[in-house]
Amino acid sequence: MIKRSFFALSKPGLTCDLLEPDPEAPQKIDVPALLTLLLPEPLDGSRDVLIQKGDPVKKGQKLQLYEDSIDYAVSPVSGTIKSIDTFTADDFSGLRTRIAIEKDTQATDQIEYPEMKHELSFAARHLNHLPGAPPFARLARTEVPVNSLIIMVSDTDLLTTTSQYMGTVHAATLQKGVQILKQITKVPKIYLVLPDRLQDRVRFDSMTLLPARLEYPETLPAMIMKNHLDKILPAGKTPEEMGICYIRAEAVVSLARAFETNAPVFEKCITLIDKTGTRHRVEAVIGTPLGQIFSQLGIQINELDRVVIGGPMQGFATFTPHHPVTPDMDTILVQDRKTITPLSDNNCVNCGKCIQVCPADIPVNLLVRFLQAAQYEAAADKCDLESCIDCGLCAYVCTAHIALSQYIRLGKHELQKLRTDV
Amino acid sequence: MNNTKLTVSHAPFWHDGDSLFKKNLNFILALLPAAIFGILQFGAPALGVLALSLSSAMLWEQIINMISKKPSTIGDLDSALIGLLFGMMLPAVIPWWVVVVGTFVAVFMGKMIFGGTGANPFNPALLGMAVLMLAWNMFFDFNTAYVNYEFSFTALAPLAAVKFQGAATELFPLNDLFMGKEVGAIGATFSLGLIIGGIYLILRGYIRWELSVSFIAGILVTAFLFYMASPQKYAGPWFHLFSGYTMLGAFFLITESASSPVQRIPMFIYGFLAGFMIILMRNIGTYADGTILAILLVNVVNPLLDNIRPTALGKDMSNA
């Protein structure tokens, strides 16, 4: 953890980690006997589900809940479905469906995979589950035509180097993937965000490079838009609504591999930071419970430790070490209970540190007063609630230890609910 | 690992390690040079006043917490800081009950009824002082307070002497004022110590230089204008800067975070306005030193001033 410097006239300098020279290949995690797949779609008790407990599944088989479901998972192993139940991963992302699959060690057969097509509808139906979570389903559904694709060879959060690793070590595969991506999406402009300090290590031909500075939060999508594309993200809008789509380097690499082998890819590269701050790079099959990774690396998880999925500024804390590896999981951060800073229900003391660090120029000191009083509409109208880009810096520096990011996230969530009710 | 209970909370999962306790502790540390100088200058009574003020302020907060069935909050040292600041604004010879009543007003009326630390619209220590000065003005006449003391310098409170007795400012050499050789409150006379403490806090990022600098600018500019208009009638800017509560105000009173703005331009306006008001009160008001009332007055303007702020990301529709 980076502590406040003794002299604090300037902003805190949080810098994203740079990929080490000559990065080691990731350590492979064994495929466990029981895998868990997460579907974003919740179970609907009134409808019949296509898959049932006890059904046999084959490697590469597409699993979806209903005929008209858009979301699906693809089984990385052959075996039997052990259970299907509801799962809450994160407070605000709603209910999900969890499918547990018991691996059949004897079975070696895998499903005949359809011939790869350079079509968006095909990609949305068959390639959306790839490691790195390519946004094909979203692209296929979007009402706003996407005019810029931005491939992220830089990581958005601190500590992690997954995207940098996948983008630089597999640069050649990435370039092949970009060609496929061009044919699939037919997006006119493709950019590649590369940390400025990596530019002499890797070459990408015939692509527009956007050199990203590693100072957090310069690596966040909204800041990249602002600094490189000269587009200001309007308050309350997502980059997709502006016709800009971000895609991880790993997703592009997985895409190229899937086309190369005409088979789905399941191996997800993850940066894991243990309690001592040591970084491990692992490769685990999607659906592997985190506990399997911890035991293979010899990381002991004790009562009241914190397991964070995603980086220290933007991730979320999971309640269970059984949480599976998902296609978008770049980082796992394990914190000892002793290093966890307690939050408080203090009032804002108006020290102004949040104002100094906020990249979106939000009056956080006023905003938090509205949010604490549950005045969400006033917070949006008067204090720019929707301009927040969720960088988490305000809560990082808060002297009063107020859970500012949580208040803001809750505020946005409640505001959306209020608006849909109307 | 099967049923391990994990800690779940919202991002971010890092913190820069700062806390209210550290902030207030640093304030208290920064006040110590001036406070110790006051004890050396005014003797054991000064120590008594400071100790009583600090402890009674903490005690009041604890009692109010107990009555309102709230968890104890004195651990963040906020009341300790209020008590210390309050004590430093008092003369060394003041009846004990005035101190206790003053800290009650400061902590209860200044802070706790608004919801505790951070919720105060006014600087609590100043509110306590203002009430005492209105209720028992006789205890704040620094000339009669130190009648039994023998000083090696002019034993007159500079501001009152110049204002009411028509004393020449030459009686108070700037050097003496700067080094604390003047009659005044326990912790407000030693300008050098207060400046050192203030610069320490600015460097540590606990107070904002914008407030202190604009406050001092407000004092100097306004006092200079008065002085230029009538040098016989009004004291010069440097005299004002190093006398009374000015230096304590510049670094410790105007910078109280909950009652001051956080955006840059509002901070400049706020500080300058306070300095301007002080000189107005000193030169044409009825009080010898207007610091306390002037800062309380600008406290009221604070919520309005913070509306002057940059446009948030994505709010400026002409660029969208």
Domains, chain A = 28-103 (2.40.50), 120-261 (3.40.50), 353-421 (no CATH)
Residues B167 and B278 in one domain: yes
Chain B, 214-233: which have a CB under 8 Å from a chain A CB?
none
Nearest to B23 by CA among B255, B188, B261, B186: B255
Residues B134 and B224 in one domain: no
**Residue range B92-142, pLDDT digits in tens:** 999 999 999 999 999 999 999 999 999 999 999 999 999 999 999 889 888
Q: For A352, phi and psi rounded to 5 degrees?
A: 90, 5
- Number of neighbours of residue A293 by Cβ within 10 angstroms: 22
Preferred mutation among B15, B208, B308 to probe A, highest tally of A CBs within 10 A:
B15
Chain B: closest CA distance from residue A303 (Å): 5
Count of residues for chain B? Answer: 320
8 A C-beta contact, residue A121 and residue A259: no
Nearest to A346 among B118, B208, B311 (CB): B118
Are B86 and B130 in a shared domain?
Answer: yes
Query: Helix/strand/coil (H, E, C) string of B91-148?
Result: CCCCCHHHHHHHHHHHHHHCCHHHCCCCCCCCCHHHHHHHHHHHHCHHHHCHHHHCCC
Nearest CA in chain B to A403: B10
Comparing CB atoms, the residue among A337, A355, A396 nearest residue B262 is: A355
Do B253 and B298 lie in one domain? The reply is yes
Residue at token pair 């939050």: A343
- Whether chain A has a CB inside 8 Å of the CB on B15: the answer is yes
Cβ of B315 within 8 Å of Cβ of A340? The answer is no
Q: A320 and B263 in contact by Cβ < 8 A?
A: no
Q: CB A421: neighbour CB atoms within 10 A? A: 6
Q: Which residues touch B69 (CB under 8 Å, ≥6 apart)?
A: none
**Interface contact flag, B118 A350, Cβ < 8 Å:** yes
The whole-angstrom distance between residue A153's C-alpha and the CA centroid of its chain comes to 14
| B9–chain A nearest CA distance, Å | 6
Those residues with Cβ within 8 angstroms of residue B63's Cβ, 6 or more apart along the chain or in another chain: none
Burial of B25 (0-12, 13-18, 19+ CB in 10 A): middle
CB contact residues (below 8 A), chain B span 152-191, against chain A: none
Tokens 């009659």 sit on residue:
B183
Residue B27 has pLDDT above 50, yes or no: yes
ipTM field: 0.90
Rounded to an integer, what distance in angstroms lies between the CA atom of residue A335 and that of residue A343?
16
Please report whether residue B177 resides in a domain.
no
Q: What is the pLDDT of residue B319?
A: 44
Domains of chain B: total? 2
- Output phi, psi for B287, to 5 deg: -90, 150
What number of CA atoms fall less than 13 Å from residue B294's CA on the CB side? Answer: 30
Asked if B315 lies within 8 A of A355 by C-beta distance, the reply is no
B38 assigned to some structural domain: yes
Assigned token pair, A226: 């602002």
Say what the pLDDT of residue B275 is: 96
Residues in B touching A381 (Cβ below 8 Å): none
The tokens for A255 are 């895409």
Q: Residue A155 in contact with residue A212, Cβ under 8 Å?
A: no
Question: Within 13 Å and on the Cβ side, how many CA atoms surround B258?
Answer: 24
H or E element: which one contains B272?
helix B264-284
Q: Which of A126, A147, A148 is closest to A136 using CA atoms?
A: A126
- Tell me if B7 and A318 make a contact (CB, 8 A cut-off): no
Q: Take residue A280 and report the two structure tokens written for it.
A: 């491990």
**Out of B4, B119, B313, whose CB is closest to A222?**
B313
Would you give the end-to-end CA distance of chain B in angstroms? 51
Contacts of A349 in chain B (CB under 8 A): 20, 23, 117-118, 257-258
Q: What is the pLDDT of residue A203?
A: 86
Q: Name the residue in chain B with its Cα closest to that of A231.
A: B320
CB atoms B314 and A234 under 8 Å:
yes
Nearest Cα neighbor of B12 from A2, A334, A403, A318 is A403
Mean pLDDT calculated for residue range A280-284? 96
Give, for B293, the enclosing helix (H) or strand (E): helix B291-305
Angle (CA) A169-A272-A331 rounded to 5° is 80
How would you list the strands of the sheet with A208-212, edge to edge?
A: A208-212, A189-195, A148-152, A244-248
- Which residues in chain A are closer than 8 Å to B313, comparing Cβ atoms? 222, 226, 232-233, 235, 359-362, 384, 387, 389
- The answer on B103 and B58 residing in a single domain is yes
In the structure, what pLDDT confidence band is assigned to residue A8 with cuts at 50, 70 and 90?
low
CA-to-CA separations, A251 to A77, A127, A256, in angstroms, rounded: 20, 10, 9
CA distance A397 to A405: 11
> Does a structural domain hold residue B6?
no
Nearest chain A residue to B256 by CA: give it: A351
Per-residue pLDDT at A9: 63
CA-based radius of gyration for chain A: 22
Residues 67-86 of B with CB under 8 A from A: 76
Residue B104: inside a domain, yes or no? yes
- Across chain B, mean pLDDT equals 92
Tell me the CA distances in angstroms from A68 to A11, A72, A131, A327, one per residue in order. 50, 11, 24, 22
Are A308 and B208 in contact (CB < 8 Å)? no
| Facing A384 at nearest CB: one of B257, B315, B320 | B315
Residue B230 burial (C-beta neighbours within 10 Å; 0-12, 13-18, 19+): exposed
> Is residue B5 assigned to a domain?
no
Asked if the peptide bond before residue B12 counts as cis, ω within 30 degrees of 0, the response is yes
The residue segments making up the domain with residue B269 are 156-171+202-304
State the pLDDT at residue A334: 95
A190: helix, coil or strand?
strand
3-class SS of residue A26:
coil
* B166 and B238 both lie in a single domain: yes
Are B124 and B246 members of one domain? no
- Contact flag A4-B119 (C-beta cutoff 8 Å): no
Cα–Cα distance measured from residue B30 to residue B198, given in angstroms and rounded to the nearest whole number? 7
Claim to verify: residue B106 and residue B164 sit in the same structural domain: no
Which of A232, A301, A396 faces B313 most closely, judged by CB atoms?
Answer: A232
User: Could you give the 3-state DSSP secondary structure of residue A334?
Assistant: strand
The partner residue sitting opposite A314, judged by closest CB among B11, B16, B259, is B11
* Sheet with A34-39, side-by-side order of all strands: A34-39, A95-103, A79-88, A56-57
CB contact under 8 A, A317 and B8: yes
Is the per-residue pLDDT at B1 higher than 60?
no
Alpha helix ranges (H) inside B68-95: 78-88
For residues B34 and B4, what is the distance between their CA atoms, to the nearest angstrom?
53
8 Å CB contact of B6 and A1: no
The answer to whether residue B185 sits within a structural domain is no
Per-residue pLDDT at B320 exceeds 60: no
Task: Give the HSE-up count for residue A5: Cα atoms under 13 Å, Cβ half-sphere.
Answer: 9
Contact: B6, A305; criterion CB under 8 Å: yes
What would the mean pLDDT of A54-69 be, rounded to a whole number? 90
Contact B58, B112 (CB under 8 A): no
> Which residue shows structure tokens 């500019």?
B221
Interface touch A397/B208, C-beta < 8 Å: no
Name the nearest CA neighbour of A338 among A286, A275, A281. Answer: A275
Percent of chain B past pLDDT 90, that is, above it, reads 71
Which helix H or strand E contains A270, and what residues bound it? Answer: strand A267-273
Residue of chain B minimizing CA distance to A157? B12
Residues in chain B with CB shorter than 8 Å from the CB of A343 are 9
CB pairs < 8 Å spanning A and B? 203
Q: Contact B9/A317, CB-based, under 8 Å? A: yes
At A70, give phi and psi (nearest 5°).
-95, -35
B309 touching chain A per CB within 8 A: yes
Q: Within the 109-148 window of chain B, which residues sit less than 8 Å (CB to CB) from chain A?
A: 115-119
The C-alpha atoms of residue B271 and residue B261 are separated, in whole angstroms, by 10
- What residues of chain B lie within 8 A of the CB of A309, using their CB? none
Of A8, A363, A395, the CB nearest to B12: A395
The model's pLDDT over A217-271, given as tens digits with 9 standing for 90+, comes to 899 999 999 999 988 889 888 898 888 999 999 999 999 999 999 989 999 999 9
Same-domain check for residues B94 and B35:
yes
How much is the average pLDDT of A160-169?
94
What average pLDDT does this structure show over B260-281?
Answer: 96
Q: Are strands A316-318 and A56-57 parallel, antiparallel or unpaired?
A: unpaired
Contact across the interface for B313 and A359, Cβ inside 8 Å: yes
In this predicted structure, what is the pLDDT of residue B313?
Answer: 87
Are B272 and B166 within one domain?
yes
How far apart CA A96 and CA A79 sit, in angstroms, is 22
Residue B7 lies in a domain: no
Phi/psi at A96 (5° precision) = -130, 170
In a shared domain, residues B130 and B167: no
Cβ contacts of A261 within 8 Å, gap of 6 or more? none
Are the beta carbons of A349 and B319 separated by less than 8 Å? no
Residue B14: which of A1, A305, A366 has the nearest Cβ?
A1
Q: Are residues B81 and B163 in the same domain?
A: no
A352: amino acid identity, one letter = G
Distance CA B68, CA A380 (A): 33
Q: Which residue, among B256, B306, B313, B316, would best test binding to A if mutated, counting the most A CBs under 10 Å from its CB?
A: B313
Chain A positions touching B263 (Cβ under 8 A) are 352, 355, 363
Whole-angstrom distance, CA of residue B159 vs CA of residue B292: 14
Q: Per-residue pLDDT averaged across B272-283, rounded?
A: 95
Nearest-CA distance B35 → chain A (Å):
24
**Does the residue B255 lie in any domain?**
yes
Buried-state track A241-268, b at ≥16 Cβ within 10 A, e below 16 = ebebbbbbbbbbbbbbbbbeeeebbbbb
Mean pLDDT of B165-188: 86
Among A231, A349, A364, pick the best mutation site for testing chain B contact (most B Cβ within 10 A): A349
Q: Do B208 and A352 touch (CB under 8 A)?
A: yes
Q: With 0-12 CB in 10 A as exposed, 13-18 as middle and 19+ as buried, what is B54? A: buried
